[in-house]
Structure 1
Amino acid sequence: MADKDRDLDRRPDPDALLALATEGRRGKLTVFLGAAPGVGKTYAMLTRARRLKEEGTDIVVGLAETHGRSETASLLRGLDVLPRLKVPYKGRELEEFDLDAALARHPQVIVVDEIAHSNPETARHPKRYQDIEELIAAGIDVWTALNIQHLESLSDLVADITGVVVRERLPDTVLKNADEVVLVDLPPAELIERLKEGKVYVPESAKRATERFFRLGNLTALREIALRRTADRVDDQVVAYLRQNAIEGTWSSGERLLVCIGPGALSEKVVRVASRLATGLNAPWTVVTVEAADRETNDVAALRRVEETFRLAERLGAETKRITGNDFVRDILAFARKEHATQIVIGMSRRSGWRHLFRPSLTTALAKRAKSIGIHLVTAEKTQEPQTAKRSRRFEFAGVRRSAATAIVLVAATTALGLLIDRVVMLPNISLLFLLAVLGAAVHAGYAAALFAALLSTFAYNFFFIDPRHTLTIAAPHEVFALFVFLTAAVIAGSLASRIREQADVASVRANALQSLYDFSRKLSGTAKADDVLWAAVTQLHSSLKRSVVILTPSGPDLSVAAAWPPDTDLGVSDVTAAHWAHDKQEPAGSGTGTLPSSQFQFRPLTSPHGVVGVCGYACSDTPLDINAERALSAILDQTATAIDRARLAEQAVEQSARLEGERYREALLSSISHDLKTPLATITGAVTSLRQLGRKMSAESRDDLLQTIEEESARLARFVGNLLDMTRIEAGTLNAKRDWVDVGDMVRSSVDRARKYFPGQSIETGISPDLPLLRGDSVLLGQVLFNLLDNAVKYGGGEPVSIYARRDGEDILVSVTDLGKGVPAEDLERIFEKFYRRGRSDGRSLGTGLGLSIARGFVEAMGGRIYAESPALKKRGTRVVMRFPAAETPAEVQTR
């Protein structure tokens, strides 16, 4: 079983395998790295390119800067060179790399020199390394050159060394993510000699460079930096290979430190020593602590010391981890091999001789079992031990007293019960009663009580039940053996029972914590709003910590209370100041910290992947949080920050969707206006031009036709503009409908007459009920609605007759306009009233701006009516638009009533 678990632990790292799989879908980046200009990066790159060209590789030179060096320029002969893109810039013409031409050519390998170069403002990307990233994403391998001083993280260091501020910079991740780094090195003395010979710059520039940048000390320092960066890059490749192939242990190509700490005072010194050691070796380091899987410690002070040591390690640049297990040595070594550590740094405290004799120290066990990993021991100073030892002895003495009392009570009770039974009946196995006492002590008070109970049971059994009784003398030899077996069995049984009891307690505590976090996670998963997340968080924290909790979120430049439990929780001036500090500095502040400890609350930042989203504070008291509460607090704060970030992203997505919808409407409006106004404008322009140029030569009938066309198209333009203005009034809420007496029959007749003028060949049927009552409304708006409906019916009626009917239906006046076109699908019956929605005709084209029915709905609702559509209307085709208005009582009816 152990071998199976070990095989599972040795599986390849998933992240490393994913990175390896991704490489096959992208191009590869090769960087020719140098310490300074003139070391031969471009020369080495072109030399290698010529060799690949001779081998038949499709390689192209996208851009190569020769800087006037004849030796480098000669290498371009015989290579495919892309023409440069000429870009106007401030009155002159620049020659830049043509990215689009390179993508269109799509070679197997392309050479693009000077990756740190900045592109002109008109280019697609501001930096050349971004052009190269696009080439790599397209599956093209790229070769480029880079001087070490162009890395962003080294800009200030290079400025201090050389006195020259490098303006062309690029992120360090470009070099870190490169598939291959080729170091082109040249001793500083040779580089200076090449500079003097004019092989780097022209003589005037070479003289200035020698006086400022190209000094022996500068070049030596830059060379060291380039060598170190290349070594670090190679070391990363080694680690990636180890993880991809699930190779445990390490190859001593680079140092990696694993630092082991505990609750003792020595841990702080161990971390500081490890930090200095990692800095000197330029090595990454990880600080780890091992927690027992089968028991939960109650020493809150010790747990706080571990947390403080972790925070110190993180400030010094370490990564922190926690390991859970029972065999500390095995777990530490397994983790070290998994992380490919080369050295383990651990503290060695002084131990008494008898303790070392019976139980070897952790450092001794590590030294024996570690094979290829070095052990670095940090010894304690004399001033670091007494206080810790004193506290430990005091704690142990209190535990011994409790264990002894439990053992004495249980053994005494068992002895009394045994004597009572012995008077009634003679039992040869009465010793089993004392095993129950040992098990009871183990379950009730732990291993120490079980051990005391086993010893006391041995003496009590011997004194009261083994002949000769009431003495410690044993007459029969077999009784000695039985007593020894009893003592051994009692110790083993007590040990197992105490272990089971401790594991059950730990499992119960952790199960409760996991259940609480699970319930909280489920609650957050169903919460979509940030406010709901905040209230769920404060109630959960209040339930877990049994303290007042408050969450503040940014509101402009200030912080405001977004949620608190109890709701009447108040914050003082020092509390608000501590909250601002925690938010601005992204570190805990307030009570129990080194910042504003006078505050009644301790505030912690809510940090999400997108930054700090708020601050959470909890009331402090004389009793600090135990380790379980501390872990619950950290877990809830992390989940809360992520949930707030998710909720805000969802809100932003909704806002963005609304903006995109608005953009879609605006684009549709512009498209509709440009399309629908273009035809009448073109017709009017053509008619006016014909009248001006040929008016005298045309007959009177032809001129009248052109004038009529201008009149009709002008009216059409007026309708379009009127529709836009009406929609603007509806959306702005400035539409005020009149409440006059309106004769619906007269409005139907006038609208039909108007429509027949615009559509002289269209058949329009009318039907008006003679008992049609008046309605209270706006005659202008109603006339516009009726004409819009008739206009819409004519457009989509397919040349068939259009009918309009008005009748009374109970307490309502019903007006319907019906066409016999192809109809409207059921799912679109509501959409036809949306802005810019246009149905296609039988020939596939759409007519109008898509505003007519939307305006009709706005006008009808402004007059207190309702409008809807039905389809099919007649004979399984056509569309009927129906309006319903409440019928009004006439003045005569009111007077009669």
Structure 2
Amino acid sequence: MEEERRLEESRRPDPDALLKEVQREEIKRGRLKIFLGYAPGVGKTYTMLNEARVLKKRGEDVVVGIAETHGRIETEELLKGLEVIPRRRTEYQGIILGELDLDSILLRRPKVVLVDELAHTNAPGSRHPKRYQDVEELLGCGIDVYTTLNVQHFESLNDVVEKITGVRMQETLPDTFLDRADEVQVIDIPLEELFTRLKEGKVYIPPQAKQAFENFFRRGNLVALRELTLTHVAHKMDRELLNYMRAKAITGPWPAAERLMVCIAPSPYAKQLLRKGYTIAKDAHAEWYAVYVSTPTLKEMSDKDKTYITEALNLAEELGAKIATLSGTDVAKEILRFAREYNINHIVIGKPLHSMLLGFWKGSPVSRLLHTQSEFELHLITPTIEKRESEVRPTPERLMFNPKDYLLTLMMVIAVTLLNFFLERFIHPMSLVFVYLIVTIASALLFGTWPSLFSSVLCLLTFDFFFTEPKYTLIMNHPHDIINVVVFLLTSIIIGQLVKITRRQNLALQLRIKRITLIEEMSKEFLALPPIEQFVGGLVQNSKEWENVLTLFRTTVLDHISHIAMKYLSKITDAPSYVLFSGKEGRLQVWARSHTDIDLTTNEMAVAEWTYTHGEPAGSGTQTLPNINVFFLPMKSLEETIGVIGVQYDFKSLLLEQRRLLGVLSNLSALAAARWIKIWAVK
């Protein structure tokens, strides 16, 4: 019944995905169509104008907001017969510029408007600094927009395009515009045709064409940009497919884009799996995930196991994998749930070192995956023979002999045996065997699997010795005694295992609740900062020296935020910690620290300044300036870096859970500080 309930829950639509789907289908806003190309001159504007003429013939209300023909005669011919909104003229540094007349278009309110060159930067003094912001306003007013764009103008591809072409694009727009587009039409022509157009002067005038051909329009550049265009659009289609599947509660995988997941565990072979998974993903041009299922036994890991999993996750980040940490007691079930939810095609997992027969008996994740439907391509990777796990990893702490647990189990068996001597006068001797189940359940609940098995065998021997005929021997004369004893042994083992599973589930639930509670407490404290009047008191109303008052306000707010951040830093890690914000002169300084007797060295402060300036992690255990004892994380708001969190610890040695909590803490600190700094600026 419980399994059916969980299965039913897994089939319910994802609320967030459903909301996105509803918003896409129902919001009364204009539709956006992007004509996307890999370079200038491929025919984006020409195709857009052609489509506008088709719409005009159908009776659609179409106007041209702005179209850059660049003097191309065949493109200018397409403008004939179309209504063109005159450009808004503006003077800048003695030059008259023609920009999109947003107000005239809004007043005209056509069904469709054509807006060329989406990434264009508007002239100073315009309502919006960027043309894509003009388009956002048009869409918000319910007007459909047709627009053109080259792939190199996407913000996320700026660094990639610079490496390919040697040119850094100054005019960029957010990638979210591609996700918002209702339709994307890729304008793709063969390279030879583009070169011909360039030589004929149909892209640039001859002097410019020669320079462009020698620089930007090199064959290698265009091949790379062409592939980048197709890949970027394919990823958009894939994201839309995933969102649709989640909204409609469709279980995957669907045979669309290739997607791979590598299942890792605390093992010296986890890195081998990741390297192999990376190779497979690269060859298949597939998006890939590194997935780790965190079970309640995480607390029982040895330090060596924790090192294995931490190093593996660090390598996964370096190789470009998306990391997902799942929580649960059934590893195979969590893997399958994630694979179906994210439309995974390939699952990479390590082949067990023990025999497969033993794996089937133990119900290992590999054996469970092998018995699933053939909806995934399963890659079983054999670990390198040179590194035997028994030679590398120590005995796990959870399997180490703990005499105290067994001694307490023995005492419980003695106590129940004494109780049975008393009960023997009132009940049938064979009923006494069930009293011993109390010990089995208690030992499983308190001490785990092995003490529970020990108690089962000990209870069986004690019952046989004291309460079955002939007494005070381990001999059983009656067949029903043998049957009862065997049933008792099996029952006690099964109950012990069920109790162990329940115990682990409860522990997992407690850990999850603890994490959620901590995040909730952080959010409440950061969002519930008192009003400005409470910070600066009567000075706001009485003092005329506003500069001093506002400086006091800023100092008080940052001091308050730093102490809240330090409070939760101490809950996440025991290591010495710091919270840094900029001081009066704009230089970074320590606002709070976990211990009064600690301070940052000159080198450590220099690394903190680097993190503050560049908005990237640095220090111990990171890829940047690692030769110090402290790592620093930036407190980044949407617009800028507000401050820095420092922890005297190796970043790579942190558990993934600690990293995530530190990330949440730094984000909340930044948002709270940015919010009050804005209020400070307004006041």
TM-score by length of 1: 0.63
CA distance 1:633–1:400, change in 2 (3 Å): same
Alignment of structure 1 residues 794-805 onto 2, 5 Å:
none
Please tell me the root mean square deviation across aligned C-alpha atoms, in Å.
4.2
Match of 2:476 in 1: 474
Amino acid of the structure 1 residue aligned with 2:46: Y
CA distance in 2, matches of 1:377, 1:271: 13
**For structure 1, which segment, 343-352 or 508-517, has the greater mean C-alpha deviation from structure 2 after superposition?**
508-517
CA distance 1:333–1:230, change in 2 (3 Å): same
Deviation string for 1:577-606 (max 9, x for gaps)? 67556656743645999966774x666555
Match of 2:668 in 1: 642
Amino acid of the structure 2 residue aligned with 1:260: C
**For structure 1, which segment, 336-345 or 311-320, has the greater mean C-alpha deviation from structure 2 after superposition?**
311-320
Shift of residue 53, structure 1, vs aligned partner: 0.9
Q: 5+ unaligned residues in a row in structure 2: which ranges?
A: 531-556
Q: Secondary structure at the match of 1:351?
A: coil
CA distance in 2, matches of 1:626, 1:198: 59
Amino acid of the structure 2 residue aligned with 1:455: V
Aligned partner of 1:74 among 50, 74, 77:
77
Deviation string for 1:206-238 (max 9, x for gaps)? 666556655555544443333333333333333
Aligned partner of 1:446 among 433, 445, 448:
448
CA distance in 1, matches of 2:450, 2:103: 78
Aligned partner of 2:36 among 29, 33, 43:
33
2:139 paired with 1:136: yes
Q: Secondary structure at the match of 2:394?
A: helix
Shift of residue 360, structure 1, vs aligned partner: 4.2
Deviation string for 1:341-389 (max 9, x for gaps)? 2222223332146523522431232132154222233331124443576
CA distance 1:243–1:612, change in 2 (3 Å): same
**For structure 1, which segment, 233-242 or 293-302, has the greater mean C-alpha deviation from structure 2 after superposition?**
293-302
Aligned partner of 2:263 among 260, 264, 284:
260
Amino acid of the structure 2 residue aligned with 1:478: H
Match of 2:536 in 1: none
CA distance in 1, matches of 2:261, 2:414: 51
Match of 1:861 in 2: none
CA distance in 1, matches of 2:427, 2:240: 79
Match of 2:590 in 1: 561
Match of 2:543 in 1: none
Q: Secondary structure at the match of 2:33?
A: strand
CA distance in 1, matches of 2:341, 2:352: 27
CA distance in 2, matches of 1:573, 1:95: 53
Contact preservation (8 Å) 2:565, 2:669: no
2:563 paired with 1:535: yes
Match of 2:579 in 1: 551
CA distance in 1, matches of 2:244, 2:399: 53
Q: Secondary structure at the match of 1:323?
A: strand
2:485 paired with 1:486: no
2:588 paired with 1:587: no
Deviation string for 1:627-668 (max 9, x for gaps)? 6xx8578647734752564255235414413xxxxxxxxxxx
Deviation string for 1:370-421 (max 9, x for gaps)? 54222233331124443576513x6465237665555445445655776788
Shift of residue 449, structure 1, vs aligned partner: 1.0
CA distance 1:184–1:636, change in 2 (3 Å): closer
2:348 paired with 1:345: yes
Shift of residue 68, structure 1, vs aligned partner: 3.9
Amino acid of the structure 2 residue aligned with 1:552: L
Shift of residue 508, structure 1, vs aligned partner: 6.0
Q: Secondary structure at the match of 1:399?
A: coil
Match of 1:289 in 2: 292
Q: 5+ unaligned residues in a row in structure 1: which ranges?
A: 658-897
Q: Secondary structure at the match of 2:436?
A: helix
CA distance 1:328–1:546, change in 2 (3 Å): closer
2:206 paired with 1:188: no
**For structure 1, which segment, 67-76 or 511-520, has the greater mean C-alpha deviation from structure 2 after superposition?**
511-520
CA distance 1:598–1:319, change in 2 (3 Å): closer
Q: Secondary structure at the match of 2:245?
A: helix
Determine which structure has more spread, i.e. the larger CA radius of gyration.
1
CA distance in 2, matches of 1:232, 1:147: 16
Match of 2:547 in 1: none
Shift of residue 58, structure 1, vs aligned partner: 0.2
Q: Secondary structure at the match of 1:551?
A: strand
Match of 1:334 in 2: 337
Contact preservation (8 Å) 1:33, 1:146: yes
Q: Secondary structure at the match of 1:78?
A: coil
Match of 1:361 in 2: 364
- The count of residues paired between Structure 1 and Structure 2 equals 651
Amino acid of the structure 2 residue aligned with 1:531: D
Amino acid of the structure 2 residue aligned with 1:449: P
**For structure 1, which segment, 272-281 or 636-645, has the greater mean C-alpha deviation from structure 2 after superposition?**
636-645
Shift of residue 422, structure 1, vs aligned partner: 7.2
Match of 1:313 in 2: 316
CA distance 1:229–1:353, change in 2 (3 Å): closer
Shift of residue 515, structure 1, vs aligned partner: 6.1
Match of 1:101 in 2: 104
CA distance 1:159–1:404, change in 2 (3 Å): closer
Identity of aligned residues (%): 35
Deviation string for 1:17-47 (max 9, x for gaps)? 4444545332222122233344332232222
CA distance in 2, matches of 1:197, 1:219: 18
Contact preservation (8 Å) 1:265, 1:388: no
CA distance 1:553–1:387, change in 2 (3 Å): farther
**For structure 1, which segment, 420-429 or 441-450, has the greater mean C-alpha deviation from structure 2 after superposition?**
420-429
CA distance 1:561–1:462, change in 2 (3 Å): same
**For structure 1, which segment, 84-93 or 26-35, has the greater mean C-alpha deviation from structure 2 after superposition?**
84-93
CA distance in 1, matches of 2:599, 2:364: 52
CA distance 1:192–1:427, change in 2 (3 Å): closer
Q: Secondary structure at the match of 1:369?
A: coil
Alignment of structure 1 residues 402-481 onto 2, 5 Å:
404-411=406-413, 427=429, 429-481=431-483
CA distance in 1, matches of 2:659, 2:596: 20
Q: Secondary structure at the match of 2:49?
A: helix
CA distance in 2, matches of 1:272, 1:193: 44
Contact preservation (8 Å) 1:606, 1:638: no
Q: Secondary structure at the match of 1:43?
A: helix
CA distance 1:94–1:19, change in 2 (3 Å): same
Q: Secondary structure at the match of 1:382?
A: coil
CA distance in 2, matches of 1:223, 1:546: 51
Shift of residue 550, structure 1, vs aligned partner: 4.3
Shift of residue 426, structure 1, vs aligned partner: 9.1
CA distance 1:77–1:552, change in 2 (3 Å): closer
Alignment of structure 1 residues 772-791 onto 2, 5 Å:
none
Q: Secondary structure at the match of 1:110?
A: strand
Shift of residue 293, structure 1, vs aligned partner: 5.5
Amino acid of the structure 1 residue aligned with 2:582: P
CA distance in 2, matches of 1:547, 1:38: 58
Contact preservation (8 Å) 1:59, 1:80: yes
CA distance 1:424–1:333, change in 2 (3 Å): closer
CA distance in 2, matches of 1:480, 1:55: 90
CA distance 1:490–1:114, change in 2 (3 Å): closer
CA distance in 2, matches of 1:475, 1:433: 22
Deviation string for 1:99-156 (max 9, x for gaps)? 3322222211112223344444454444433333332233221112233444455566
CA distance 1:69–1:460, change in 2 (3 Å): same
CA distance 1:609–1:452, change in 2 (3 Å): farther
Q: Secondary structure at the match of 2:274?
A: helix
Shift of residue 617, structure 1, vs aligned partner: 5.0
Amino acid of the structure 2 residue aligned with 1:456: L
Q: Secondary structure at the match of 1:75?
A: helix
CA distance in 1, matches of 2:224, 2:622: 46
Q: Secondary structure at the match of 2:591?
A: strand
CA distance in 1, matches of 2:88, 2:624: 60
